[in-house]
A and B are shown apart, each in its own frame.
Chain A
């Protein structure tokens, strides 16, 4: 770890602003967290794209154990219209829409329409190639799982999880205000910005422990070898085809989380946030850099900067 920079920032190096208001650069994200964050970005991206490639081999989803014809709850199909043009349709339950160009039928590598679930610009590899899609998917599944296990162990060991993510009673009491702040796109800029708000905490915990754990378990539930020992789990979710459906839905829940996450980064100071997750340093407007005694005494042997949430609350 870059202990030297960590030590340097403990004294909260003050960068004077031209306006006269002081701003502090705080060492917010430790190096392991930053590395694991960006590994996760790569792994999730490639698993999504290769996952859609695998989905395209049978672009239908079912509930239960079997995939009997006509029982899919989601279907992407292609058929020819009277003029001989390929028409792509997407059906969810009873609702069917013409999705030509994107779902069901989209342009192949030579520009002519081909029948395929998701389009080539959303799959890895871009051409229909199930065997290679599986290679990408399983390789990055291991990256995702090992990275995720490292992240959870590190976060527990460094009390990142307990201190920064587990909601306190005060957090729960502030949930109404936090929701209003989010709706108004209002973000704190002072030291309060360093502390994860209640919605952030709930979002991170949900993504890590429900989406992350869930998508891995549903992936394993599709493995016939693992099902020899996991069949109680498979049957609990309704069957192997249900597991495949849930795996697909959670993948899109991850996408929804990432879209919201990136949106929040964009509106809360994209440069500062990116610097925080790349170099570790995050700037806060130090209105009154009051050194209050920490509510919980900091671990004296830590060579790292104390996690930010340890800062006294300013409420």
Chain B
């Protein structure tokens, strides 16, 4: 009887082993990843249908704010350019805005504060599964876009960052113009009524109400308007996208 049981057990484990080995081979193959990745387009289109682009993320109350807003990824960019700015409390910081715009600009935090701003208490959802709630104050990205004048050919806003993820591999991200113009899309300079701390992306980071954490670029140095992001990084629209994560991070 125990022979039979151990045989069944081995057969069961063998079946699972074959299944998992097969899945691993599919995960490594170009076709397999493309087929499996086809769900991203479906998610993006169906979610846009069910949750319109104008829909607002829930905003929470002061009582809901996380005691510690967990900083993830880079918490201290080591690049000399960033270190020099940090040494002077970012007083010399200027956000470069260029690409497909009519009036390229260099904007200090004071310049940004002069544009329309917004304060919101929203939830941050990491692709890993955890969530944190923080109070963000920042300039509406739409106000910055209006300030520089977006060319009709521009389709995406690319955020170039100070932090290097690897040698010559700076963090970057991108969103489409519609997401960029959403009223909860901010270039945040304050977290919980304090100047944005370095671990959370000082002096300026992106806040999106309805996408996962890896889209919310920290340490932004430059905003570029482009018609396509194919020539940036590995061409997938962001550092994590280049590592295989979905460009559409609404789920």
Chain A residues at the B interface, C-beta cutoff of 8 Å: 45-46, 49, 54-55, 57-58, 60, 65-69, 120-121, 124-127, 129-132, 134-136, 138-139, 141-142, 220, 222-231, 234-235, 239-241, 244
Q: Are B35 and A65 in contact (CB under 8 A)?
A: no
10 contacts between A and B (CB under 8 A): A57-B127, A65-B60, A132-B27, A135-B36, A138-B39, A224-B210, A225-B210, A226-B51, A240-B123, A244-B129
Chain B residues at the A interface, C-beta cutoff of 8 Å: 13, 16-17, 19-20, 23-24, 27, 33, 35-40, 42-43, 47, 50-52, 55-58, 60, 64, 66-68, 70, 123, 125-133, 209-212, 240, 243-246, 250-251
Q: Residues of B contacting A229 with CB < 8 Å?
A: 50-52, 55
Q: Which of B24, B33, B67, B250 contacts A224 (CB 8 A)?
A: B250
A141 to B251, CA, bound (A): 12
Task: Determine how close the nearest CB of chain A comes to the CB of B122; give it in whole angstroms.
Answer: 9
Q: Are B47 and A223 in contact (CB under 8 A)?
A: yes
Q: Residues of B contacting A54 with CB < 8 Å?
A: 129
A257 to B168, CA, bound (A): 51
Q: Are A227 and B57 in contact (CB under 8 A)?
A: yes
A79 to B27, CA, bound (A): 30
Lowest 3 CB-CB distances: which A-B pairs, in order? Answer: A225-B250, A131-B244, A228-B55
Q: Residues of A contacting B43 with CB < 8 Å?
A: 138
Q: A49-B20, A132-B244, A228-B57 are in contact. Are A58 and B126 (CB under 8 A)?
A: yes
Q: Are A124 and B23 in contact (CB under 8 A)?
A: yes
Task: Determine how close the nearest CB of chain B comes to the CB of A12; give it in whole angstroms.
Answer: 35
Q: Which of A46, A127, A138, A225 contacts B211 (CB 8 A)?
A: A225
Task: Determine how close the nearest CB of chain B comes to the CB of A141; give it in whole angstroms.
Answer: 7
Q: Are A240 and B125 in contact (CB under 8 A)?
A: yes
Task: Identify the closest chain A residue to B124 (Cβ).
Answer: A224
Q: Residues of B contacting A125 with CB < 8 Å?
A: 23-24, 27
Q: Are B39 and A141 in contact (CB under 8 A)?
A: yes
A125 to B17, CA, bound (A): 12
Interface centre among A45, A227, A231, by most chain B C-beta atoms within 10 angstroms, is A227
Q: Are B60 and A139 in contact (CB under 8 A)?
A: no
Task: Identify the closest chain A residue to B60 (Cβ).
Answer: A65
Q: Residues of A contacting B211 with CB < 8 Å?
A: 224-225
Q: A65-B60, A125-B24, A228-B51 are in contact. Are A223 and B251 (CB under 8 A)?
A: yes
Q: Residues of B contacting A69 with CB < 8 Å?
A: 68, 70
